[in-house]
Amino acid sequence: MKSAIITGASSGIGRAIAYELAKNNYNLLLIARRENLLSRICQDLENTYKIKAKYIVMDLSKNNDFSYVKNYFLETFDSLDVLVNNVGIGYYGQIENISLENLEKLFWTNLFSHIFITKELVPIMKQQGYGIIVNIISLIAFFPLKNWSIYSSTKCAQMGFFKSLRRELYRHKIKVINVYPGATETEFFNSLELPYNFPKLDKAEKVAQKVIKAIKRNRNSEVFISFSHWLFHKLSVWI
């Protein structure tokens, strides 16, 4: 049976991807901080889809022993088919208010955690001779918005890192799928003091369905959630 690891799987897009993968018969290892949610989701996934669903409680906003994830995975599952680098938090504010503490937290959560988890797990995929790395980035990587500069920089860096890594992993038959959601209805906005609302929010399930479709295609790809998002990204060279 195939297996996948998802970071930031206790809510929103990560949780929706967990349900879609479970529906498609994947065993799952979920990572986030809120144990009550992770435990409830795993139980529900195991009961509903008859798969193996385990979790690790980990705060990804700082340095960790990421080899723990690899060792736990190897002890519990057979093969690593998919890694979903999904964890991410937002930051909205003017440059005068940016602190080193916030910068570090944002970069650890949105970039460094992805780099270090991927670094731990790529050797397993190389040894297998297959594997898919899915990265949940954001349309903001193409489309700059006022007061979103730190968040935007983490997402541009995530995109650059994984586009380059794709070339490095090409000959090992490891695929890299980059996903660029626009504003999506999740807990993401709860901790941000936004003076406006985004006019239209996608459902997390819609993003998850696009992700599963791309995984099934098993190709290096750039995934946009709708035609208008794809068009935004094409027009971004003029912004």
Buried b / exposed e over 189-214, threshold 16 CB at 10 Å, is beeeeeeeeeeeebebbbbbebbbeb
Under a CB-based contact definition with an 8 Å cutoff, are residues 184 and 90 in contact?
no
Of the pair 3, 184, the CB lying nearest ligand NAP is at 184
By C-beta, is 90 or 131 nearer to ligand NAP? 90
- Least gap, CB of 215 to ligand NAP (angstroms): 16
55 is catalytic: no
Cα–Cα distance between 27 and 18 in angstroms, integer?
A: 9
Q: In the complex, what is the shortest distance from the CB of residue 157 to ligand NAP, in angstroms, rounded to a whole number?
A: 13
Q: What are phi and psi of 113, to 5 degrees?
A: -60, -40
* Nearest Cα residue to 152 out of 161, 160, 143: 143
Our CB check for ligand NAP shows the closer of 126 and 156 to be 156
User: 187: closest CA among 87, 81, 106?
Assistant: 87
Residues near ligand NAP, by CB under 6 A: 8-14, 32-34, 37, 58-61, 86-89, 109, 136, 138, 181, 183-184, 186-188, 204
Taking the complex as a whole, the smallest distance from the CB of residue 172 to ligand NAP amounts, in Å, to 25
What's the closest the beta carbon of residue 105 comes to ligand NAP, in angstroms?
8
**Residue with smaller CB distance to ligand NAP, 86 or 178:** 86
**Residue 95 DSSP label:** G
- Minimum distance between the CB of residue 186 and ligand NAP, rounded to whole angstroms? 3
Burial of 77 (0-12, 13-18, 19+ CB in 10 A): buried
Q: Which of 19, 49, 55, 151 is catalytic?
A: 151
- Cα–Cα distance measured from residue 24 to residue 51, given in angstroms and rounded to the nearest whole number: 10
Nearer to ligand NAP, 64 or 128 (CB): 64
Cite the active site residues: 151
